[in-house]
Amino acid sequence: MDSNQQTIQSLFEDAIHYDEPYTAHLIYFATRKGKVKMQEPVSKLFEMDLTREEQNEIRDMHVADILQMRRIKLYAIQRGENTYNFYFANNAWDARELHHQIYGEWKKHIISAYNQMIDRALYFPDTKETKTFRELKRETVVFPRWVCEMEGS
């Protein structure tokens, strides 16, 4: 194997580090089923034939997050016509409960905003810093946490 060629193991580690759960679950599935080995080149992943049933199994593993890559999620709760509050929490119930503690209102509709917003940059005028939700999540120690209020459409 060429020394410059990435192994499945290094791709798996990158998927964990860079928060790419579908890739991580695909590799986990493929190695568990013996379709590939961790020390093989990444190109072996593209040579795999997956049945519809296997594709569904990978999707189900990803949705269930069996690798526990996203224990903390990002939720949005709409307050006004175009105003949303964002929370880091283990689940929607925790975000809803914290919202109630802060604003005194129970909202039925809670939006899972992780995929859409995690890399969205926010500017903080007090500190003159720009940070993404992902960076803020890494800095957070206690969950659930209110993150910010934003206007959007």
The string of pLDDT tens digits covering residues 90-120 is 999 999 999 999 999 999 899 999 989 999 9
CA distance 111 to 79: 12
13 and 47 part of one domain: yes
Q: Are 76 and 109 in contact (CB under 8 A)?
A: no
Residue 28, domain member (yes or no): yes
Where among 45, 64, 83 does a domain terminate?
64
- Residues 138 and 117: their CA atoms lie apart, in Å, by 15
| Tens of pLDDT, residues 27-55 | 999 999 999 999 999 999 999 999 999 99
Question: Are residues 52 and 106 both part of a single domain?
Answer: no
User: Is 3 part of any domain?
Assistant: no
Q: Which residues constitute the domain of residue 15?
A: 8-64
Clarify whether residues 146 and 87 are in a common domain: yes
Average pLDDT of the chain is 92
Looking at residue 153, what is its pLDDT? Answer: 60
Is residue 114, in this structure, part of any structural domain at all?
A: yes
